[in-house]
Amino acid sequence: MRKPVFVVGLLALTLGVAPACATKKFVRTEVGQVNDKVGTLGKSLEDTQERVRQNEGRITEVDSKAAAAQNSANQAGQAAQAASQQATQVGQQASARSDSIEAANRKLIYEVVLSEDQGKFRSGRTDLPAEATAALDQMVASLQNQKSAIWVEIEGHTDNVGDKKFNEQLGLNRAEAVKRYLYEKHQIPLHKMNVISYGEEKPVAPNRTRAGRAQNRRVVIKVLA
């Protein structure tokens, strides 16, 4: 009777141990697979990080090249702008020389002087008084029968009171006021008129006296043919 009991006990022990062994084997298998996957993912992560580093290097290189290209473009733009300004200045100088040469070959046929001592330009003022516009109207009327083409030179002059640069601009503004009047009132073409300011550089009387300064504040209109 003891042998069957022993056999039953052994069978029970075997049945108890077998599942335990199977479970451990399963766990080891699963853990191994997980470890393999972790290893694969780790390798993939390293590869990805390496690619990222390489791409960052390429991006940095591209950024550097782009910055260099932009810098070159900026320098080229500045050079082009400087060249354009220089060309404009050369053109203006050439035009001025051409005008001077053309004027030198013409003869003076009429001249009007608008100065304060004749009741014209006041100190520091650029507007045209009635006396000045009347003198300009008379000039234009006198030229009605002029058959040849005319050229009008308008010179702005000042006394020596105040800043030299201010006086140069003041003389220019006075001359421009005459030019504008001749164009708007008498339709004299703008390209037939040339304006220049001498400021205080060409006085016709001493600036130390009030009467002399009044004579120096003037606009001279020369009609050439």
How many residues in total does the chain contain?
Answer: 225
Are the C-beta atoms of 180 and 116 separated by less than 8 Å?
no
The CA dihedral of 102, 108, 109, 114, to the nearest 10 degrees, is: 110
**Burial class (CB within 10 angstroms; exposed 0-12, middle 13-18, buried 19+) of 132:** buried
Distance CA 14, CA 62 (A): 71
More confident residue, 182 or 6: 182
Distance CA 203, CA 212 (A): 9
What is the tens place of the pLDDT at every residue in 66-110?
A: 788 888 788 888 888 887 777 766 665 565 556 556 556 789 999
Are the C-beta atoms of 115 and 121 separated by less than 8 Å?
yes
More confident residue, 123 or 173: 173
Distance CA 197, CA 68 (A): 47
pTM of the model: 0.53
Instruction: Give the N- to C-terminal CA distance of the chain in Å, as an integer.
Output: 156
CA atoms within 13 A on the CB side of 121: 27
More confident residue, 55 or 157: 157
Q: Which residue has the tokens 């005008």?
A: 99
Mean pLDDT, the chain, rounded, equals 79
More confident residue, 33 or 195: 195
pLDDT(20) > 80: no
Are the C-beta atoms of 154 and 181 separated by less than 8 Å?
no
pLDDT(27) > 60: no
Are the C-beta atoms of 213 and 161 separated by less than 8 Å?
yes
